């Protein structure tokens, strides 16, 4: 790390910083400039750096402490080129763009089976659906719970789809693992470090949504919690962030997709449903996501969105989904990938 001294800081202050660094185990190299001095420090393992930096910031004459290496290791690009998360044969992060589709929430057997049949026929490889739903209001529907998980597993089996569903609590990880192929950690839990560690211990593939106020570095550090617990089967999912714009539910930050490609080896997918909150924006943003390099999509599809219990405004119906899939196939081909469905020319 580099300790940047304030303009006008004196030699005693620089020496005090150097001495503290040496006590902390660093090798130091102070450089005295005309206006500003800096102290370069190397040689201490990553896990000791944050606390050291906090202490150094409080010393007299210190302006800033700058890290020269990334604070995450397991998820950093330097570790490997690209990770392909293999979910029993469905590969996320490979040449194929993977469609994950289904209702926001499991509502009934009929609703789920109708949707699962349609999304499978259209070329989706993964069925989405919430059994445990995070709700802003404690009075809204909280999901079907265990019966919802049972329906998801049955739908997956019947239509040859992998299943992704959200896990909200450390105590539920074991239960959800029995029914799901991919664990979803939602935006509200994206910095719930106990939960991140627990899904890291589970060894199941984990889809980690971006926290609604998370910077890329915070998001990658959240992923680092999962990876450092022993599970590198992580898929990142951009789902929009909170901004001043109210026209859309969130601002879908598609620039994170190519940006993450240079920061991490993990696959990145996009959720245009939570990302926009408006069903008419889902098809164009799905195309844009594939065009800018997304490894997959997570899209809310409902047989009758106007009557959906949750997120109907941002759910596309089965007809819109059937129209969208071949169009997405063409975009995927145009960027040298495929959606795993026949492409009309
Ligand atoms: C969802 O996928 O339905 C959901 C609740 O997502 P998020 O955590 O991104 O809001
Ligand atoms: Mn939803």
Summarised one tens digit per residue, pLDDT across range 132-186 is: 999 889 999 999 999 999 999 999 999 999 999 999 999 999 999 999 999 999 9
Same domain, 213 and 100: yes
Same domain, 176 and 272: yes
Instruction: Find the domain containing 59 and state its range.
Output: 2-67
For the chain, give the mean pLDDT: 96
Same domain, 90 and 58: no
252 falls within a domain: yes
**What's the 3-state SS for the chain?**
CEEEECCCCCHHHHHHHHHHHHHCCCEEEEEECCCCEEEEEECCCHHHHHHHHHHHHCCCCEEEEECCCCCCCCCEHHHCCCCCEEECCEEECCCECEEEEECCECCCHHHHHHHHHHHHHHCCCEEECECCCCCCCCCCCCCCCHHHHHHHHHHHHHHCCEEEEECCCHHHHHHHHHHCCEEEECHHHCCCHHHHHHHHHHCCCEEEECCCCCCHHHHHHHHHHHHHCCCCCEEEEECCECCCCCCCCCECCCCHHHHHHHHECCCEEECHHHHHCCHHHHHHHHHHHHHCCCCEEEEEECCCHHHCCCCHHHCECHHHHHHHHHHHHHHHHHCCCECCCCCCC
Choosing from 106, 143, 168, 186 the residue with most ligand 1 atoms within 8 A of its CB, the one to mutate for a pocket test is 186
Distance 333 CA to ligand 1 centre (A): 28
Considering every ligand atom shown, identify the ligand nearest to the alpha carbon of residue 212 and give its number.
Answer: 1
Same domain, 46 and 106: no
Among 67, 98, 117, which residue terminates a domain? 67
Question: Quick check: 266 pLDDT over 90?
Answer: yes
Question: Quick check: 46 pLDDT over 90?
Answer: no
Domain with residue 41: its CATH number is: 3.30.70.1140
Q: Which atom of ligand 1 is nearest to the CA of 104?
A: 3
Per-residue confidence (pLDDT) for residue 71, from 0 to 100 = 86
Q: What total number of domains does the chain contain?
A: 2
User: What pLDDT band is residue 344 in, cutting at 50, 70 and 90?
Assistant: low
């Amino acid at each position: 790390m580099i300790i940047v001294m304030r303009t006008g800081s004196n030699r005693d202050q620089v020496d005090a910083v150097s001495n503290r660094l040496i006590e902390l185990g660093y090798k130091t190299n102070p450089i005295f400039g005309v206006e500003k001095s800096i102290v370069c420090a190397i040689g201490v393992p990553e896990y000791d750096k944050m606390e050291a930096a906090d202490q150094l910031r409080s010393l007299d004459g210190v302006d800033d402490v700058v890290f020269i290496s990334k604070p995450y290791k397991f998820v950093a690009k330097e570790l490997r080129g690209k990770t392909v998360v293999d979910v029993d044969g469905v590969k996320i992060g490979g040449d194929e763009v993977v469609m994950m589709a289904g209702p926001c929430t499991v509502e009934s057997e009929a609703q789920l089976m109708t949707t699962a049949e349609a999304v499978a026929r259209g070329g989706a490889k993964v069925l989405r659906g919430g059994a445990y739903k995070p709700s802003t209001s404690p009075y809204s529907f909280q999901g079907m719970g265990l019966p919802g998980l049972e329906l998801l597993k049955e739908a997956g089996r019947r239509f040859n789809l992998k299943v992704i569903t959200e896990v909200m609590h450390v105590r539920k990880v074991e239960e959800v693992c029995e029914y799901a192929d991919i664990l979803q950690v939602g935006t509200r839990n994206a910095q719930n470090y106990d939960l991140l560690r627990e899904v890291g211990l589970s060894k199941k593939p984990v889809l980690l949504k971006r926290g609604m106020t998370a910077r890329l570095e915070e998001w990658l550090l959240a992923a680092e919690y999962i990876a450092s617990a022993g599970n590198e089967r992580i898929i990142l999912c951009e789902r929009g962030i909170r901004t001043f714009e109210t026209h859309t539910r969130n601002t879908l930050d598609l620039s994170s997709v190519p940006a993450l490609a240079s920061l991490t080896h993990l696959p990145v997918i996009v959720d245009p449903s939570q990302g926009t909150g408006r069903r008419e924006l889902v098809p164009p943003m799905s195309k844009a996501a594939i065009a800018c390099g997304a490894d997959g999509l997570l899209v809310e599809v409902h047989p009758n969105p106007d009557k959906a219990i949750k997120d109907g405004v941002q759910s596309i119906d089965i007809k819109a989904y059937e129209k969208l899939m071949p169009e997405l196939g063409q975009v995927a081909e145009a960027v040298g990938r495929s959606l795993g469905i026949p492409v009309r020319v």
